[in-house]
Amino acid sequence: MEEVIKDIIIKENEDYIINMGPQHPSTHGVLRFEVCLVGETVKYLIPHCGYIHRGIEKMCEKDTYQQIIHLTDRMDYLSAHINNEAVCLCVENALQVQVPERVVYIRTILSELSRIASHQLWWAAFGMDMGALTTFFYGLRDREKILDIFEESFGSRLLHSFNTPGGLMHDIHPNFQNGIKEFIKYFRKKLPEYDQLLTNNVIFKERSIGLGVLSKEDAISFGITGPSGRASGFACDIRKRFPYSAYDKVQFNEILFNEGDTFHRYKARIEEMKESMNILEQLVDNIPAGDYTAKLKPIIKLPVGEYYQRVEAARGELGVYIISDGNKNPLRVKFRTPNFSNLFIMNKLAAGSKIADLVAISGSLDLVIPDIDR
Amino acid sequence: MKSVLNYFKEIFSALRSLWGGMRVTGSYFLRPGQIVTQKYPENRKQLKMYDAFKGEVSMPHDENNQHKCTGCGICQINCPNGSIEVISKKITTEDGKTERIIDKHIYHLSMCTFCELCIKTCPSDALAWGQDFEHAVFNKSKLTKQLNQAGSTLKKVVKNNTPANDTIKANSNLENKQTNN
């Protein structure tokens, strides 16, 4: 009970409050932190979200299951494919449809490509938050290679609503596999540059080691998933624990650290990029031939019931919960998004640290604001 | 003595880490051929997008100003944002039959989210992605486009009814009835 009481924030009238956001360049979106300061030290911090709430869950209720897909793109736009896949898997499991093996492989490859692209952009922006502008250009330069692969096959670079319940919209471009192989060759050469530029940099290390330490118990009780949770030793990788798609066919390590500070949250993501490339190498040559979609009825009606599917998005566990009453529209859709849970640890991490470190801590959690508000 | 040694050791390792980063940026500074940016407005003429590029929804017309749209309205039903309006009219042919043809196929680019459902579900492949991407305009009304060209007619094709298309059509008829009710 005492533990719980400690978490409650007691506001006082004499508190010196400043607002960080809603339009602050380093919150990467419209998010407001109500920060109480004592001198330069943070006393407490209250996140205020809702500035970019679009009512996606409500909009899903009027759409058919094919139409939901394009809305999930707009939640976590950096791992748009993984969001799509989560809904598709949920619908397919409810219908008990077996999708072709080719679709399973392509989806897994795309998930890993999205994860690398997302981490590259995070690395770029995190460096910029910490005052190293060069990383922004280098990160985006490498991300461009992945976006070109996406654009060649699906026509769009970021929000490619390429999945559909039952399979894919159309087949991949013949150049797809070669593009990935070239990218892996290229990016393996460029990753040491990331270390030289930022990981080994003494200024970056001094600022991030030991900052914002998250214990394993807190990670579990706050539901901090993804690389942020795994940096604290919370083994929460859905790909490993509850394999879906083709993840049971590949060998990879779950990146775990025990320190849980900003530097190790950073390291977890860098290591995860390497693991993602290992997964890609195992899959890219083995895409089986076959159909790119299962034959489904044009109007999908799920049987009455409740369905849940969890996948590992770039920032943590994404859950899709659908209640169906047998119509062509869902009765209720709920998304358990990773960023919403990850945001509310901010008070615990930032209380007691300096206000200049706030940017580093929120950057290391890799928050995407539209995913919080939905 | 040892602490003094450590002090200098730390300084040197710090300087070395900074030198490592400077070497990366310096090597790119000396190799300007590695620059990856595009000179966009200058290379407009040569710029070629990928074939699958989603620029905007368009309706391809052949050299006789003919398109394939029958005006069935399936794209309108499938569009999640209401960015497509199919306005059809009934005409009487020379044989005395009444036929439904499209009058206007209106496309609101400002509402489109590029989800590809209209193109995918079109039973007669009348819609396709256009390659144009320079959509910035000064007036919002310019983003509402009419996809069928003036004076265009329906291209008569030999029907090959695949079963998938039939089911889509049957379902769309069913849905039309539901919406009418």
Q: Is A318 helix (H, G, I), strand (E, B) or coil?
A: strand
- Does residue A84 contact residue A69 with C-beta atoms inside 8 Å? yes
| Fold that domain B56-159 belongs to in CATH | Alpha-Beta Plaits (3.30.70)
Angstrom distance (rounded) from CA B67 to CA A245: 41
CA dist., res. B79 & res. B118, Å (int)? 6
Q: Do A161 and B17 touch (CB under 8 A)?
A: no
The residue extents of the domains of chain A are 2-373
Q: Across the interface, do B20 and A196 touch by the CB < 8 Å criterion?
A: yes
B171 min Cα distance to partner chain A (Å) = 7
To 5 degrees, how large is the angle CA B133–CA B139–CA B141?
A: 85
CB contact under 8 A, A197 and B53: no
The per-residue pLDDT for A116 is 92
Mean pLDDT of B167-175: 46
Q: Would you call A196 and B23 a contact, using CB atoms and an 8 Å cutoff?
A: yes
Q: Does the beta carbon of B173 lie under 8 angstroms from any beta carbon of chain A?
A: no
Q: Report the run of H or E that residue A36 belongs to, with start and end.
A: strand A32-38
The parts of chain A modelled with pLDDT lower than 50 are 1-5
Asked whether the beta carbons of residue A141 and residue B24 sit closer than 8 angstroms, the reply is no
Q: How confident is the model at residue B75 (pLDDT cuts 50, 70, 90)?
A: confident
Give backbone dihedrals phi and psi of A174, rounded to 5 degrees, phi first: -60, -25
Q: Give how far Cα B73 sits from Cα of A66, A195, B101, Å.
A: 17, 55, 11
Please give the residue of chain A at the shortest CA–CA distance from B22: A197
> What is this model's ipTM?
0.74
Asked whether the beta carbons of residue B50 and residue A63 sit closer than 8 angstroms, the reply is no
pLDDT of residue B160: 54
Q: Which amino acid is at A260?
A: G
Phi, psi of A159 (to 5 degrees): -105, 70
Specify the pLDDT at position A1: 42
- pLDDT, position B173: 46
Strand pairing category for A332-336 and B56-58? unpaired
Asked if residue B169 has pLDDT above 80, the reply is no
What angle do the packed helices A176-194 and A101-129 form, to 10 degrees? 30
Determine the residue of chain A that is closest to B18 in CA distance: A201
Domain boundary assignment for chain B:
2-34, 56-159
Identify the band that residue B161 occupies on the pLDDT scale cut at 50, 70 and 90: low
pLDDT band at B66 (very low <50, low <70, confident <90, very high): confident
- Collapsing DSSP to helix, strand or coil, A239 comes out as helix
Please check the confidence at residue B168 and state whether its pLDDT lies above 60.
no
A52: its two tokens: 């970019």
Distance CA A243, CA A310 (A): 10
Helix (H) or strand (E) holding A17: strand A16-20
Predicted model pTM: 0.85
Contact of B14 with chain A, judged by CB distance below 8 Å, is answered with yes
Q: Which residues of A11-45 are buried (b: 16+ CB within 10 A; e: fewer)?
A: eeeeeeeeebbbebebbbbbbbbbbbbeeeebbbb
Selected residues 124-143 of chain B with any CB under 8 Å from a CB in chain A: 129
Q: What is the dihedral of CA B27, B31, B37, B43, to 10 degrees?
A: 180
CB contact under 8 A, A66 and B117: yes
DSSP letter at A293? B
- Contact: B21, A153; criterion CB under 8 Å: no
Give the helix ranges, DSSP H, for chain A.
2-7, 56-60, 65-72, 80-95, 101-129, 134-154, 176-194, 202-208, 216-222, 226-230, 238-241, 262-284, 338-343, 346-350, 356-364, 369-373
Given an 8 Å threshold on Cβ–Cβ distance, is A155 in contact with B21? Answer: no
Q: Which of A176-180, B69-73, B166-170 has the lowest mean pLDDT?
A: B166-170
Residue A214, number of CB atoms within 10 A of its CB: 27
Instruction: Give B170→chain A minimum CA distance, Å.
Output: 10
A108, A279 Cβ separation under 8 angstroms: yes
What are the residues whose beta carbons fall under 8 Å from the beta carbon of B155, sequence distance 6 or more?
A: B62, B64, B66, B67, B68
Q: How confident is the model at residue B172 (pLDDT cuts 50, 70, 90)?
A: very low
Q: Name the CATH superfamily, with its identifier, for domain A2-373.
A: Cytochrome-c3 Hydrogenase, chain B (1.10.645.10)
**Residues on chain A touching B18 (C-beta within 8 angstroms):** 201-203
Question: Which of A147-156, A245-254, B94-103, B133-142 has the weakest average pLDDT?
Answer: B94-103
Q: How far apart are the first and last CA of chain B?
A: 93
Cβ-contact A311, A86 below 8 angstroms: yes
pLDDT at B179: 43
Place of tokens 């580093």: A360
B52 — contact with chain A (CB < 8 Å)? Answer: yes
Q: What is the CA radius of gyration of chain B?
A: 29
**What residues of A are in contact with residue B24 (Cβ under 8 Å)?**
193, 196-197
Q: Does residue A265 or residue B37 have the better pLDDT? A: A265
